[in-house]
Amino acid sequence: MVTSTCSLQVVAWADSVALVETCRTPRPSSAPSGMAFYLRGGTNVAVHQDSTDVPGAVEAGDRMGESLTAVNTDPRAVSTAATMRLAVGVPGEALGTADNAGAVHTFSLVAAAGANDRWIEAGDGDGIPGAPGANQYLGRNMYYTGTHLYVGTPYGPGLGALYALPMSNTVVGGGVAPVTAYKPGTGGLPDVGVRFGAQAR
Q: Interface with Ca ion by CB under 5 A: which residues?
A: 49, 56, 59, 62
CB of 49 to Ca ion, least distance (A): 5
Instruction: Give the CA dihedral 168, 47, 44, 139, nearest 10 degrees.
Output: -60
| CA atoms within a 13 Å half-sphere pointing along the CA-CB vector of 73 | 21
- SS3 at position 169: helix
CB of 56 to Ca ion, least distance (A): 4
Looking at the Cβ atoms of 59 and 126, the one nearer to Ca ion is: 59
Looking at the Cβ atoms of 49 and 69, the one nearer to Ca ion is: 49
CB of 34 to Ca ion, least distance (A): 9
Length of the chain: 201
CB of 123 to Ca ion, least distance (A): 18
Looking at the Cβ atoms of 25 and 145, the one nearer to Ca ion is: 25
Report the candidate in 170, 199, 180 with the shortest Cα–Cα distance to residue 73: 170
Looking at the Cβ atoms of 2 and 14, the one nearer to Ca ion is: 2
Task: Give CA 26 to chain center in angstroms.
Answer: 20
